[in-house]
């Protein structure tokens, strides 16, 4: 098998610990857990009622109302993280 190379050019985060690398890093280094009672849906039918949810606002992240209507939640998170990664890859911009 041939050698594969990867270049990491930037970092973007949308996670239960926070949106953005700064918020996420502060959460994980503080030792504060991101788990809590589920609020995204009614967890009553399930044994577990605790999860690590993303506090994610696509409009605050720079998406438009039209974007939020045509993209599902996962695609919205991907775009916000990708934008942050691109910005992180170009220092000074």
> 6 by DSSP, 3-state: which?
coil
Phi, psi (deg, nearest 5) at residue 51:
-155, 175
pTM of model > 0.95? no
List the structure tokens of 60. 């605050």
Q: What is the pLDDT of residues 19-67, one digit of tens each?
A: 999 999 999 999 999 999 999 999 999 999 999 999 889 999 999 999 9
Q: Between 75 and 18, whose confidence is greater?
A: 75
Burial (CB < 10 A; 0-12, 13-18, 19+), residue 93, is exposed
> 15 by DSSP, 3-state: which?
strand
Does 1 have pLDDT greater than 60? yes
């Amino acid at each position: 098998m041939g050698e594969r190379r990867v270049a990491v050019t930037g970092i973007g985060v949308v996670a239960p610990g926070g949106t953005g690398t700064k918020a996420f890093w502060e959460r994980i280094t503080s030792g504060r857990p991101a788990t809590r009672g589920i609020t995204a849906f009614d967890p009553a039918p399930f044994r577990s009622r605790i999860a690590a949810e993303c506090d994610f606002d696509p409009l605050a992240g720079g998406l438009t109302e039209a974007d939020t209507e045509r993209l599902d939640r996962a695609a919205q998170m991907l775009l916000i993280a990708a934008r942050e990664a691109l910005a992180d890859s170009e220092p000074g911009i």
